[in-house]
Chains A and B, each alone.
Chain A
Amino acid sequence: MDIFALFDCIISPACLISQAAGGLKIGMLLFLVASGLTLVFGVLGVINFAHGALYMLGAYFSWQVMSVTGHFGLSVILGSLGVGIFGLLFERTLISRIYNAELLVQILLCYSVVLILDDLVMIIWGDEFLSSVGVPKVFQVPPLFIFDAIIPPFHLAIIGMSFIVGIILWFIMTKTRFGRLVRAAAVNPKMLEALGVNINLIRAGVFMLGSFLAGLGGALAASLSSVVSGMGNSILIESFIVTVIGGMGSISGAFLASLIIGMARSFGAVAMPLFTDGLMFLIMVLVLILRPQGLMGNKKQ
């Protein structure tokens, strides 16, 4: 561990800004995916191990739309919506049958879906990785220099886009009737049902929203990363770490934890490049010891 390198970086505006912007980009992309996972767990009580596979589907759908239309915006929107619709079908046909099942059954079902989807995308799109969707033309410009720190404009766009999605999500969950019903469903679904609310509709809507967020994360990631079967596995692990650190079911917790993980990876690469993954797990362990319910989690959960 090179603590001096980290210190030098923090006192240098160029390094500080560069690593912070990098951390922000990593964190915000992670937030999109992790917020969907924590939402599904918080409301439905399902640990969706297939969430990473939905992220992968978002990347493939986006790639497909891009190759047909050549329009980046359309590829992101249709790619994410496609995963949302897939999520709806997934919930209605399979997930809805295991709400009260044991954890092992949930894991088995989700894992089998992961294996099926991983093979299915290879059958449809081929076994070789696909090139990235690419950056839209408007962002194919030289990077910005801020205090000598290099920042690609497209990264700022991703950060901005993810931030707007976060605000919309916060607005939906706190200021709309749907959000109130979702929060109520998370606390006492039976009471909500007794009051005449269609709980199945709420559940399907939440799972669809969670899938949409995973798909959006995948579609945005596909703009910079090659698309390949199984690409959701690593993001799934990071999303679970975010969910544990932030608190199971807490979207604000997911936001905070995503930023922590993003910064840990970015600044961790300066001080301990061989231990950046370990650092994430270390933070998770510390949170579990000091605050088992997560930073913003409900103690009961």
Chain B
Amino acid sequence: MKKLNKYSRREILKTSASTASVFALSTGFPTILKAENNIKIGVPTILSGRVAQLGISVSNALNMAVDNFNKSGGLDGRNIELIIRDSRAKPDEAARVCRNFINSDKVDAIINAEASGASFAVQEVIRESGTLCLHTVSETSRLTADPSIRAWNAFRFSRQGIHDAVGSARYAAKIIKEKGLKKWMSVNPDYAYGRDSDDTFFWALEKFSPGFEVLGKGWPKIFQPDYTEVITQIARKKPDAIYSSLWGGDLVSFIDQASLYGIFNNTQLFAINLADYTTMSAVKNLPKGLHSATRYVAAWPNTQDNRDYDNSYTNLYGDHPTNWSWETTVGIDYLISALKETGGTDNKKLAEAIKGKTRKSFMGVGDGNTVSMRDKDQTIIDYSIGWGTTIANDPYMTNIQAADWHTIEELEKEWLTDKGWL
């Protein structure tokens, strides 16, 4: 039979396959190899529901830092690849997402941007796997204060409840002295963080200014829309001051509703979580003179580095950073530095490179504007904690006073001893 073509079908197929292979080797394969060679970081966080802003501001902070790192050549050509997934604020889902990062995605490290409940679940997963983990959101002290929960491969870059409590109580004691605030009430969200915050604040306040009286405590549920029953109690008992660890939309609703009763005309509010841009800008007619810790404001610390950070973030995302943003930025900065120092992704070497290190940071108040990763409990210290009073418009905070880290650490020791954790 006469061949219709110069080449047989088999030859054509063979040639095509060879050409395809050569093409793939010259273009596609290196791309695949490059992706495989990336430094993978898994980020379980909250991207849906009422706290979605948490995950979004964390993602923004991470993308900003990682883009800069990759553009500057990465780690000898190896880029950081972020894999950010939603846990929907559920501890079991956070643990599942985390296991998938480790088992399926084979991540080199985890940046855990979960709230407190889910952070404990993540901690158990990474303890088992030995994956390097950076906690950048949870503020519950126990996560790193309780030795039974700590892990060699876990580091906390988020602020800690006991640090804030001491800073808050020290500031409140000054105001008590100036204004004679004797009768107190508190309004805290009815879950682990709210109870911890209430306990540690009044514990610390007793140290600085004993002799105050607590007239009552309100425990609204998280995301409760109506605070009437708590506010009527405040209106009736007429305390000199209120301590609150409500946050986000809950705090905004509480302030708006309490203002209708004229509560803040005669009562000082110490709201630890008020001074974040998203919260302050949402309050209708923000009353002048409310007291708050500086969660994140461009005005504090009052340094060019901090203002530059705020500008870079705002230019990229059209919104100010949040408290979660700066915590995550400090965390990824430490990780990048450890990658450069060790030249690879060995988790033990990375952990050693992070442990005990002091680094310059826009949020640092240590010598030369530094923060430190404390060796013994692998938690960040010397970050900026300030307290001040609100004003109606940007910069929203005035009369900001810095907390003293020497005092914070002294009282922290006492608190740890009381808890049996030292």
* Chain A interface residues (CB < 8 Å from chain B): 14-15, 18-19, 21-23, 25-26, 29, 118-119, 122, 127-132, 134-135, 142-143, 149-150, 152, 154-155, 221, 224-226, 228-231, 233-235, 265-266, 268-270, 273-274, 276-277
Contact = CB atoms under 8 A, between A and B. Distances in A.
A221 B218 contact: no
Interface residues of B, number: 39
Given A15-B236, A132-B253, A122 B261 contact: no
B56 interface: yes
A53 B155 CA distance: 39
Interface in B230-263: 230-233, 235-236, 248-250, 252-253, 256-257, 260-262
B229 A266 contact: yes
Interface in B270-328: 278, 281-284
A26 B216 contact: no
A201 B132 CA distance: 62
A32 to B, nearest CB: 13
A17 to B, nearest CB: 10
A243 to B, nearest CB: 19
Residue from the set B216, B257, B260 with the largest chain A CB neighbour count within 10 Å: B260
Q: DSSP class of A's interface residues: helix, strand, loop or mixed?
A: helix
B221 interface: yes
A215 B16 CA distance: 65
A132 B224 contact: no
A281 B278 CA distance: 35
Contacts of B226: 26, 29, 221, 224-225
Contacts of B262: 142-143, 150
B235 A131 contact: no
B279 to A, nearest CB: 9
Contacts of A129: 50, 53, 248-249, 252, 278, 282
B336 interface: no
Contacts of B421: none
Q: Report, nearest first, the 5 A-B pairs whose CB atoms are least far apart.
A: A129-B249, A226-B249, A269-B229, A131-B282, A152-B260
A265 B48 CA distance: 30
Nearest to B319: A128
Contacts of B211: none
B257 A273 contact: no
Contacts of A127: 52-53, 56
Contacts of A276: 229
A18 B236 contact: yes
A22 B229 contact: yes
19 contacts: A19-B232, A21-B232, A118-B49, A122-B48, A127-B53, A128-B278, A131-B283, A150-B232, A226-B253, A226-B256, A229-B50, A269-B218, A270-B233, A273-B217, A273-B218, A273-B219, A273-B230, A274-B190, A277-B221
A226 B283 CA distance: 9
Contacts of A150: 232, 235-236, 261-262
A229 B221 CA distance: 17
Nearest to B278: A128
Contacts of A118: 48-49
Nearest to B282: A131
B228 interface: yes
B223 A231 contact: yes
A174 B135 CA distance: 60
A228 B249 contact: yes
A18 B231 CA distance: 10
A119 B48 contact: yes
Contacts of B223: 228, 230-231, 233-234
B93 to A, nearest CB: 15
B261 A229 contact: no
Contacts of B217: 273
